[in-house]
Amino acid sequence: MKIEAIDLYYISQPLIRPFVTSFGPQQDRDCLLLALHSEGLVGWGECVATNDPGYSYETAKTAWHILSDFLIPKTLGQELQEPEDLQSWHRFVRGHPLAKAAIDQAAWDLTAQRDGLSMAQKLAAPYDEGPRDCVPVGVSIGIQPSISQTLVLIEQHIEKGYRRIKLKIKPGYDVQLASAVRERFPTLSFMLDANSAYTLEDTPVLQALDAFDLLMLEQPLGHDDIYNHSKLRPQIKTPLCLDESIVSLDHARFALEIGACDIINIKPTRVTGWTVARQIHDLSVEAGIGLWVGGMLETGVGRAAQLALASLPGFNLPGDISATERYYVPDIVAPFLLNSEDGTITVPDGPGLGIEIDFERLSYVTLQHEIFK
Ligand code: OSB
Ligand code: MG
């Protein structure tokens, strides 16, 4: 499929409520959308880099630069057979996984449409089992002004049908929070995400969390660390999950070889896209570890592709793929809703991502649009 044209959109949408992590609050969420055009088909991708370099060094503006000046010129006019082709085309750009992932997602959408498959079916092609129809999902709740407000929010999400709750923590807002949650909800499946806010010196605090029967503790130490996590792991009882540290297939292998984690949160966008995400999935299945799909406050465009990934057989824990109405109303595609009876979301089964873009809404939230031909 010759890549005939590429659209790039810079969009900004208000979040329904600010999302606060250990690196600060977020109210308006910027991101990029990208469309690959070939043979009358259009494949869509989302670049989740955002306003600030908090979670990642990439921002929506650096991603615009890397995409428009390097990745898009390299991609335009090429013959795309399979999404894997992008690996060699884009290797000349070091880093910038979130920018690369926008094209990767769009290539999976485009080629799945060409093959007459949903993206879930295309991703699941190498496995005996087909993709799951529905995937269990949890919610990620940001840092609230008070513990009592957090308890109210948890209650509301349990009532909606969510079966797994993730709470953000930071030093000074951790043990008390976990203790209050466990006291109020004795059987709740809940976990904590520190987004790299601790060091090995905080080991006693992290050990104190052992008392609350957490599902897991996500990324307590450095965003670029693997080694110190392997030091921490035998000192705590809570299963340790890595997010930020796993930036490639090699890093996943390093983490497993030195015993740095029990669980991996695969964010396809953090590892350049769905091709590498599936390789990490396969490695994790071989290692027999816990595995789930992480999120980055995606619009429905990105959520559709996360759901496709989460439908693969090796994902054995609920992902951060909560309903899009938690963040954006309206969204630029029809909302993905929670099946409240079992805490799942239905995986789209239409061609490719199985979404339909609302172009009126898209143009309303677009700050910049460029067409590359
Ligand atoms: O660390 O998992 C994270 C959102 C933005 C950046 C980092 C993270 C998150 C989330 C939200 O936890 C997950 C989601 O609901 O999309
Ligand atoms: Mg995380």
Compute the distance from residue 142 Cα to the ligand 1 centre, in Å.
9
56: left (phi > 0), else alpha (psi -120 to 50), else beta?
beta
Q: Any idea which residues carry the catalytic annotation?
A: 168, 267
309-368 confidence digits (pLDDT tens): 999 999 999 999 999 999 999 999 999 999 999 999 999 999 999 999 999 999 999 999
Which candidate, 106, 164, 133, places its Cα nearest to that of 312? Answer: 133
Q: Would you call 162 helix, strand, or coil by DSSP?
A: coil
What CA–CA distance (Å, rounded) separates 140 from 287? 26
Task: Confirm whether pTM is higher than 0.95.
Answer: yes
Fold of 122-346: TIM Barrel (3.20.20)
Ion ligand 2: residues, Cβ under 5 Å:
193, 218, 243
22 pLDDT higher than 90: no
How confident is the model over 28-36, as a mean pLDDT? 97
Q: Would you call 94 helix, strand, or coil by DSSP?
A: coil
Helix 300-310 with 97-114: angle, nearest 10 deg: 70
CATH fit for domain 5-116+356-372, picks 3.30.390.10, 2.60.40.1120, 3.40.50.720, 1.10.10.10: 3.30.390.10
What lies within 8 Å, CB to CB, of 76 at 6+ separation is 3, 5, 6, 372, 373
Q: Whose CA is closest to atom 14 on ligand 1? A: 295
CA terminus-to-terminus distance, the chain: 15
Q: How is residue 191 written in tokens?
A: 């976990």
Alpha-carbon torsion 64, 66, 69, 71, what sign?
negative
- Ligand 1 site-directed mutation target among 13, 21, 31, 48, most atoms within 8 Å of CB: 21
Residue 322 CA: which ligand is closest? 1
Q: Please check whether residue 42 is in contact with residue 100, taking contact to mean a CB–CB distance below 8 angstroms.
A: no
Mean pLDDT computed over every residue of the chain:
97
Compute the distance from residue 243 Cα to the ligand 2 centre, in Å.
5
Strand 240-242 versus strand 139-141 pairing type: unpaired
Residue 167 CA: which ligand is closest? 1
User: If pLDDT is split at 50, 70 and 90, which confidence band does 24 have?
Assistant: confident
Q: What secondary structure letter does DSSP report for 340?
A: T
Identify the bridge partners of residue 240 per DSSP, sorted by sequence position: 217
Compute the distance from residue 62 Cα to the ligand 2 centre, in Å.
21
Q: CB of 252 closer than 6 A to ligand 1?
A: no
Q: CB of 327 closer than 6 A to ligand 1?
A: no
Q: Would you call 201 helix, strand, or coil by DSSP?
A: helix
pLDDT given at position 23: 83
Which candidate, 304, 313, 287, places its Cα nearest to that of 345? Answer: 304
Q: How is residue 113 written in tokens?
A: 């449409």
Identify the bridge partners of residue 8 per DSSP, sorted by sequence position: 34, 370
Compute the distance from residue 297 Cα to the ligand 2 centre, in Å.
11
pLDDT given at position 204: 98
Domains in the chain: boundaries: 5-116+356-372, 122-346
* Residue type present at position 65: H
What lies within 8 Å, CB to CB, of 7 at 6+ separation is 33, 34, 35, 37, 369, 370, 371, 372
353-373 confidence digits (pLDDT tens): 999 999 999 999 999 999 999
Counting from 1 in the atom list of ligand 1, the atom nearest the Cα of 166 is 12
Residue 218 CA: which ligand is closest? 2
What CA–CA distance (Å, rounded) separates 234 from 240? 10
Q: CB of 243 closer than 6 A to ligand 1?
A: yes
Cα distances (Å, whole numbers) of residue 74 to 47, 91, 190, 278:
17, 11, 44, 24
Q: Please check whether residue 138 is in contact with residue 319, taking contact to mean a CB–CB distance below 8 angstroms.
A: yes
Q: CB of 244 closer than 6 A to ligand 1?
A: no
